[in-house]
Amino acid sequence: MSYVGPDSQPPRPPRRFSGGPLTVTLAALVPTCLAGWLIYEATSGPGGSEPPRTLPSTSQSAQGSVSAVPSPSKPEKDDKGDEDDKGKGEEADAKPSTTKPPKSSSRPAASGPLKGKVVVVDPGHNLGNGKHTAEINRLVNVGTHRKECDTTGTSTNNGYSEAQFTLDVSRRLRTLLEKQGATVKFTQDGDPPWGPCVDERARIGNDAHADAVVSVHADGSAAGNRGFHVILPASVKSGDADTSKIVVPSRALGERIAGKFVSATGSAPSNYIGDGTGLDVRKDLGGLNLSTVPKVFIECGNMRDAKDEALVTSGAWRQKAAQGISDGIVSFLRG
């Protein structure tokens, strides 16, 4: 920008006056003014413009001017750090358990009455089954017939799912059994996106050479139907299914669990299945038909009944349920 001011205008030619002191004075001043003008022109740069001003440095501008633009700040975390935070959020959402141990726990077994014993816990269904209907509807061979790989399970009338319930109780059960010295393995711990299929669940127990397997469930019967029941394998020999060696020990396991479940929870045996015994024998469940080790299912209550719903949605009651199942397993394995 050019500087514009009164000193930038060239002097007008002097008027001629005749005679007198004023004329003499003006004649003396004219050369002086002209010399001053020439000096100004020589020192003010081309075109009479002002010498360029030097802008303050970035740091000075930031300190003394609100128009200063700060340099972009670096992100506080790199990509890896962000991923680590996502992992923490996922673990918080997976509560009540704060970690995701593998199916075969790497934690050393504690000393206790069950040291050396292997227990497989099978949390029924899977939280992701509903998003994988094509996969879980695939038919698999369960010995006596073919049936769906898995199902979504039931839920309470207020939306608490069986898969949530079974995983929570199973994790509580694992903690109790490990304190007794048992090695505990899961068929799924909320880690696979769906399943596994019922035949694979049976295979996991078989391959582990488990001393006992318990599949944790809750029922979805009509309102008014209340209580728990334990499902035992029937005598089956068809195709890949042969329960002849596990029927007797499985019944012993189921009876121990039923008795201890009453003591721990105060719940009564089912009023709609088992004729008041809390025991039910079935031959249509692939998880039982294909098992070669002692195995039972437990339906801890009826999620569709309001009174049972109040129980299964209570963390305190779920702890009692886990305690009852654990006590039954301990009693069975100790003889």
Task: Based on the residue annotation, tell me whether 299 is a catalytic residue of this protein.
Answer: yes
CA nearest neighbour of 101 among 207, 191, 200, 201: 191
Asked if residues 272 and 190 have their Cβ atoms less than 8 Å apart, the reply is no
CA nearest neighbour of 322 among 289, 300, 293, 291: 300
Q: Residue 25 is inside which H or E element, if any?
A: helix 20-43
Helices 162-179, 315-334: axis angle to 10 degrees equals 50
- From the list 162, 200, 299, 309, the catalytic residue is 299
- Token digits of residue 95: 């509560």
CA dihedral 184, 187, 189, 192 (to 10 degrees): 150
Separation between Cα atoms, residue 124 and residue 215, nearest integer Å: 6
The set of catalytic residues is 299
